[in-house]
Amino acid sequence: DGGITQSPKYLFRKEGQNVTLSCEQNLNHDAMYWYRQDPGQGLRLIYYSQIVNDFQKGDIAEGYSVSREKKESFPLTVTSAQKNPTAFYLCASRRRDIGDMAKNIQYFGAGTRLSVL
């Protein structure tokens, strides 16, 4: 089945620790995104990547890092510099990011819930 797989479903971080959230897609999509969701709020963009080996900061990139070495993978690292990491993290992908963008829908994974110990 085609889709976006995020792992783990639940993750706990100790103070001062870096943790990495996995996002894999087999949809052959070019663009991938990471969002953060806090209770009672909409999603906020952390990082996005339109193509392999390229990525850009979103609205709340501080304390996070990403890589895009393969088309199907876009891991997110929550670093110790992120002082309030507790949130629900969602990964999304999109076929391509040019042309008639409105016809190209973002598809979401099931999310990873990160908590601080």
Partner 1 sequence: AQSVTQLDSHVSVSEGTPVLLRCNYSSSYSPSLFWYVQHPNKGLQLLLKYTSAATLVKGINGFEAEFKKSETSFHLTKPSAHMSDAAEYFCVVSDLSGGYNKLIFGAGTRLAVHP
Residues that bind partner 1 (CB under 8 A): 4, 6, 31, 40-45, 48, 50, 56, 58, 88, 90, 92, 94, 97, 100-111, 113
Q: How far is the CB of 67 from partner 1 (least distance, A)?
A: 19
Q: Which is nearer to partner 1, 11 or 43 (CB)?
A: 43
Whose CA is closest to 97, among 47, 30, 28?
A: 30
Cα–Cα distances in Å, from 54 out to 32, 44, 49, 58, 66? 11, 20, 6, 13, 10
Based on C-alpha coordinates, what's the Rg of the chain? 14
| Least distance to partner 1, CB of residue 102, Å | 4
Smallest distance from partner 1 to CB 71, Å = 17
Query: At closest approach, how far in Å is the CB of 54 from partner 1?
Result: 11
Which lies closer to partner 1 via its Cβ, residue 14 or residue 103? 103
- Of the candidates 43, 104, 108, 103, the one whose C-alpha atom is nearest the C-alpha of residue 74 is 108
